[in-house]
Structure 1
Amino acid sequence: MTLAVSPPKVTGEIARWTPPRELNEQEQQIVERMSRNGKLFAFLRLNRHKLMDEAFQAELASMYRQTGAGKVAIAPGLMAMAILLQGYMGVSDATLVELTVFDLRVQMVLGWLGHSEPAFSQGSLYEFRQRLMRNQMDRRLLEKTVEVAREQKEFGERKLKTLLRVAIDSKPLEGAGRVEDTINLVGHAARKVMMCVAKLLGCSKQQACREAGIPLLLEKSIKKGLDVDWSEAGQKKKALQALLEQVESMLSWLRKNLAEEMEEEPLREHVQTLEQIRKQDLEPDPEGGGVRVRQQVAEERRVSVEDGEMRHGRKSKSKRFNGFKQHVATALDEELILACAVTPANRPEAEATPALEKDMEKQGVKIDELHIDRGYINSSIVDSVLEEGGEVLSKPWKARNGELFAKSDFKIDMRSRTITCPEGKTMRFELGKTVEFATKDCETCPLREKCTQAQIGQGRTVAISEDEALQHKLRKLMKTPAGRERLRKRVGVEHRQAHIARRQGRRARYRGVRKNVFDLRRAASIQNLETWQRHLELSQQQVG
C-alpha cells in the first residue's frame, strides 16, 4: 500500500500542502464505495488540488509570520480542508482529531492514510480557526469555492456572465446561549461575578459568596434557594427583593475590597453584564417597595448571560425566537452562494446588506437583477442596484386600511406625479410626503363612508413613500402572470438556505455574531462544493 505524503510541519517559511493527485489502490477502492453515500469525500479527494491550489495556499500562509519564530505550523492548506470536513460532518474539534486516525474517508481527503497518529491536535485546529476569523480568510474560503466552481466547464457559458441575477434571503438561528427569565438572569450574572472573584482571590466560590453576603449563589438553583410559591405574585415580588438585596450586598463588598479589580478585565466585564441586566429588566415599583420586573421589554434587551449578542426576534407576529438572523446572497443562475452575514435577531434585514454588498464587491459582482424579500427594500444595496441601472424584484408592501379603501384602490401616475381616488378626484404628490384630498370633495363624496373616517373638516390622506416608483412597479408586476413568475425566481436562495439549515440545524454552534458568520460561511462553502459536484454529475450523465 502506498502511503500519502505527510503534511509538512515547518518553523521557517510556511510550507504548502502537496498531497498526490493520482489515486492509489486503496483510495480507488474507497472512492468506488462512496458512489452513493458520502460522495463529497470522494469529490474533495479528486478536486482538492483545485481548491487548495498554490495561489490560495499562499494566501493562507500570509496569515502566519514568516520569521521562523513561534510554534511549529501545520500546512494551512491541510487545516483549511479539515475545517471544511468538520462542517460537512458536523463534529466537534475533539472528534475530528480522532477521525484523522480512525476514519478512512477523512484520512483519504487529508492525505493521511496509513498514519496511526492524528494529523493535528485539537489546539492546532482551534488556533487555525481563530486565525481564519482574524484575517477574514473564512470569507476568502467561500470566495474560493465560487471562483473554482466557475472555472469548471460543468457551469458552461454561465461563468462568462458579468451581470448576475442575485437573490438575498434570511432565516432565524436560535442562539447557543441559555435564555433565562429575569430572576435567573440576575442570578446567573451574579454567579459569573463571584466565580471570577474566587479565581482572583485564590479561594473557593463558597468562601467568596459567604464573605460577599450572597449565600443564594451556593444553591444549585436560585429559585430553589429562594423557595417561594412562584405562582403567587406577592411571594414572587418578595423573592425578587431578597435576591436584589444580596446582589447589592455583593456589589458593596466588591467596591470595598476589590475596587481596582472592578475597573479591569475580566471582573469589569462580568460586573457590567450584571448591571446591564438589572437596568434592562427592572424598573421602580409604582406601588412602592423597591423595584419590579419591567412591564415592557427593553430595547436591545440582553437575553443570555453567556452570549451578549443574542436578541429577541420574530419569525411572524405570533412566532418568536432568540438568537440571530442568517443572511445569504446567491447567484440564481449558477446556484452558488456569494456572500453571508449574521445579525442579532432584533435587527431589520436592511442592516445586513452593507456587509453582503461589500463582500460581493470584492468579487467584482455586478447585479443585473436583485431578488429580495420585502424586509430588504429600504436597504443600501437596493439603492446601489437601481443607480447602476439594475432591476429590483420583490413583493410590494401590502396596503391595508381595514374595510375602507386601501392605497391600492387609488390610481397612482408616476409620470405626472398624481394620485386619483376611487371617485375620480386627482391630487398632485411629492415622494416621501402625505397627500390630503380636498375637504370639500371628501365631505360631499358619496363614497366617503367606504373611504375614510376622518373628522369633519379633514380629507382622506394617503402616504407616498420615498420608493413609491419602485413600489408602483412591483404592484404592476404582481398583477400579471409573467410578473408573478419572475417574482417566484427568488425561491432559489430559499433552497440554499434550506440545505444550510439541514446541515447546521436550528441552533447555533457558536456564541456571538463573528463565530456564527464563520460557521455560515463554512456551510455556504460546503453547499457550493455540493453544487459543483451536482453539476459535474449532470455533465457526466449527459456525456454518457
Structure 2
Amino acid sequence: MEIERWRPKQELSEQEERIIERMKSTGKLFAFLRRHRHELFDEAFQAELETMYRQTGAGKEPLPPARMAMATLLQGYLGASDATMVELTVFDLRVQMVLDCLGHSEPAFSKGALCDFRHRLIGANMDRRLLEKSVEVAMGQQEFGWRALKSSLRVAIDSRPLEGAGRVEDTFNLLGHAARKVVACVAGLLKCSTDRVCREAGIPLLLESSVKKALDVDWNEAGQRTRALQVLIQQLDSLVQWLRRELPEQLVEEPLAGHLKTLEQLRGQDLEPDPDGGGVRIRQTVAHDRRVSVEDGEMRHGRKSQSKRFNGFKQHIAAEMELDLIVACTVTPANRPEAEATPELQKDMQRQGMEIGELYIDRGYIKSPVVESVLEQRGEVLCKPWATQNGELLPKSAFKLDMRSRTVTCPGGQRLPFKPGSVVEFDAKVCGQCPLRAECTTAQPEHGRMVRIAEDEALQQRLHKLVKSPTGRARLRERVKVEHRLAHLSRRQGRRARYRGVRKNTFDLRRAATLQNIESWQRHLESPRAQAQKTGVPSNRPVL
C-alpha cells in the first residue's frame, strides 16, 4: 500500500492572499505556515513520517502523514480538542488555508484519525523528530547567521512545574477510587451492575456517591476517623477475598490485575501497622515515590521551592542561547531530581550532532552527567554557586584551596592535604593556640576546625570566582533567556497538563517547543536585517 504524499501548493490563490492580508496583526503564524509549510515538510521529512505506517497492503488507506502532522501543530497552537480540531477544518478559513482544504464542506479527517496519528507519532518517537526538523529548518536560514560548525554551542537548561491532569486525593478517597475501578471492571466482566458486585463482595461503602459520605463520621475526632479507616479496610479485604473466590483466573489478567495492583500499591504506601494495636493507621510520614492519583499513576508530589509545592511533573528544556531555539526537551515526575532529566536531553542533542561549549544551568543540575561531559570536553559550566555560610564564624571562603597541589590553608596558616569528597579536620593543638580560634570554630578543645571538600570542588571554586566579578555576574544573568522560553511555553500550554502520563506530556511539550521554534524562525525571517538582505536596501533600524 503506497501512502499518499502531501504536495501543498506554494503559490497563493486570490482567496489566500485576502485571508493573509487580514492577518497582519493577529494570527500571523497561520500566514507564515502557509508560506513555508513546504520547507518544514519537505520530501525527505515526509518520507520519514511515512515509516510510521506498515506496508501491509490491507486496511484503510492512511491520510498524508505530513498533513496530519501540520494539523497536530495547529491543534497545539489553538489549544483545541480533537473534536474541535475536526470541525475547524470545515469552518475556520485559516486552518483550511494551512491544510490546503479551502472550500471543502467535509472535515479533512476524523477524530479517530487524528487520535490514531498522535499515537503513531508518539510510538515512533516522531514527535522528537518533528522538534529536530524545526531546529534544522530554522538553522538553515541565513537570517539566523548560523555557523557551519555545530560546536561550542551556548546551551541553557531549565525546568518548570506542570500540574498533573489526574485528580489528587487523600487516603480515603484514593482507596475508594481504586476500589471503584476494580468493581467497575468486575461488573464489565460479569455483565452485571456495579451495585450487585458491591453487595455480593461485601463493600456497601461504594454504593454511595463517595466513601466519606458513606462512612458519615465527624472527621475532626481522631477516634471516629480511626474507626472509619478500619471499616474501609475490612470492606476492601472483603472485596479482594470475594474476587479470589469468584474470579480466580481473571485476577492475573488485564485489566483487572492492573486495577488490583493499583489498590495494593495505595494500601502499601498510605497505611502502616498501628503501634497501639487495632490494625492499621494512615502513614505518619509521606512514603517514598508516593502515588497521588488513581487516574494518572505517574504523577508525584514535587517542590519548586521550600514554600511552593505541586503535584504532577517537571518539564525540562535545553535552549540554544544565541538563536532562541529549543533543541531538546523531556518530562519527568515531579519528585525526580533535575539531574535525572539531563541524559535524555543530552542524547537528543547528540542525535543532532550538537556539542555544548558553554552550559548555563541552575544549581539543581550541578550534579548531572551533562556537567561532567561538558567539563571533560573542556567546555565551560556557568551556574550560581552554593553559598558558603557558617554563621558568624569564618566561612569556607576564608580558607585558601590550592586545587593543583590539593592542599587547604586556614587563615592562621595551617596547611593540610585534602581529597575531593572528604572532610578535612585541622590539628586540634595548632587550632588551640591560634588567635583566630574563637572566630573560626566552636568545636570542643579536642577537635580542630573542619572543612568539607566537595566532589566537584574545582568547579565550585571556579563558580565562586565567576560570581565575584561584574563580568561574571553579567554572564550568569544570560541564563534568563531560557527562563523566557519557559515563560512562553507556560503561556501556550498553561499550568496544567493536557494529557496523563510522562510520555504523552513529553509529546505535548515537544509540540509546543516546535511551535516556539517556528515563531523564532518567523521572527528572524521578518527582522529588519533579514528584510534588508532580501531587498538589498540597508536598514537603519537596530536589530534586537
The TM-score bracket by the shorter chain reads over 0.9
Name the counterpart of 1:258. 247
Name the counterpart of 2:492. 503
Structure-2 separation of matches of 1:422 and 1:384: 35
Unaligned runs of 5+ in 2: 540-544
Structure-1 separation of matches of 2:360 and 2:440: 34
Are residues 1:303 and 2:292 paired? yes
User: 1:540 Cα shift?
Assistant: 4.7
Name the counterpart of 1:442. 431
User: 1:423 Cα shift?
Assistant: 2.6
Structure-1 separation of matches of 2:185 and 2:435: 74
User: 1:406 Cα shift?
Assistant: 2.5
User: 1:157 Cα shift?
Assistant: 4.0
User: 1:261 Cα shift?
Assistant: 0.7
Unaligned runs of 5+ in 1: 1-11
Number of positions where the alignment pairs a residue of Structure 1 with one of Structure 2: 533
Alignment-mate amino acid for residue 435 of structure 1: V
Structure-1 separation of matches of 2:515 and 2:230: 51
Are residues 1:21 and 2:20 paired? no
User: 1:541 Cα shift?
Assistant: 5.1
Structure-1 separation of matches of 2:318 and 2:392: 38
Alignment-mate amino acid for residue 280 of structure 2: V
User: 1:122 Cα shift?
Assistant: 0.4
376-385 or 154-163: bigger deviation: 154-163
Are residues 1:391 and 2:380 paired? yes
Alignment-mate amino acid for residue 73 of structure 1: P
Are residues 1:488 and 2:477 paired? yes
Name the counterpart of 2:403. 414
What percentage of residue pairs aligned between the two structures are identical?
68
User: 1:424 Cα shift?
Assistant: 2.8
470-479 or 434-443: bigger deviation: 434-443
- The counterpart of 2:305, out of the listed 290, 306, 316, is 316
Name the counterpart of 1:349. 338
Structure-1 separation of matches of 2:196 and 2:148: 67
Structure-1 separation of matches of 2:63 and 2:352: 29
Structure-2 separation of matches of 1:102 and 1:160: 46
User: 1:158 Cα shift?
Assistant: 4.3
Structure-2 separation of matches of 1:251 and 1:401: 56
User: 1:351 Cα shift?
Assistant: 0.3
Q: Secondary structure at the match of 2:144?
A: helix
Name the counterpart of 2:161. 172
Are residues 1:333 and 2:294 paired? no
**Contact residue 13 and residue 67 of structure 1 kept, 8 A:** no
- Give a deviation string over 1:275-301, Cα, whole Å, max 9, x none: 000000011111211111101111000
Name the counterpart of 1:281. 270
Name the counterpart of 1:3. none
- Give a deviation string over 1:479-516, Cα, whole Å, max 9, x none: 00001111111111111111000000000000000001
**Contact residue 177 and residue 305 of structure 1 kept, 8 A:** yes
- Give a deviation string over 1:103-122, Cα, whole Å, max 9, x none: 00000000010001000000
Name the counterpart of 1:34. 23
**Contact residue 158 and residue 333 of structure 1 kept, 8 A:** no
Alignment CA distance shift 1:159-1:171 (3 Å): farther
- Give a deviation string over 1:118-169, Cα, whole Å, max 9, x none: 0000000010000011101000000000000111121124465532101100
**Contact residue 150 and residue 159 of structure 1 kept, 8 A:** no
Alignment CA distance shift 1:160-1:33 (3 Å): farther
User: 1:389 Cα shift?
Assistant: 1.4
Name the counterpart of 1:228. 217
User: 1:434 Cα shift?
Assistant: 1.2
Name the counterpart of 2:198. 209
Name the counterpart of 1:183. 172
RMSD: 1.2
Name the counterpart of 1:5. none
**Contact residue 328 and residue 349 of structure 2 kept, 8 A:** yes
**Contact residue 127 and residue 511 of structure 2 kept, 8 A:** yes
**Contact residue 141 and residue 525 of structure 1 kept, 8 A:** yes
462-471 or 501-510: bigger deviation: 462-471
Structure-2 separation of matches of 1:286 and 1:450: 48
Name the counterpart of 1:8. none
Name the counterpart of 1:112. 101
- Give a deviation string over 1:324-359, Cα, whole Å, max 9, x none: 110000110111000001111111111001100110
User: 1:76 Cα shift?
Assistant: 0.2
After TM superposition, the score normalised by the length of structure 2 is 0.96
Are residues 1:49 and 2:38 paired? yes
User: 1:456 Cα shift?
Assistant: 2.9
Structure-1 separation of matches of 2:101 and 2:395: 67
Structure-1 separation of matches of 2:287 and 2:441: 35
Alignment CA distance shift 1:267-1:157 (3 Å): closer
Are residues 1:97 and 2:86 paired? yes
User: 1:418 Cα shift?
Assistant: 1.6
User: 1:443 Cα shift?
Assistant: 2.4
Name the counterpart of 1:7. none
Structure-1 separation of matches of 2:222 and 2:435: 55
**Contact residue 312 and residue 345 of structure 1 kept, 8 A:** yes
Structure-2 separation of matches of 1:451 and 1:221: 61
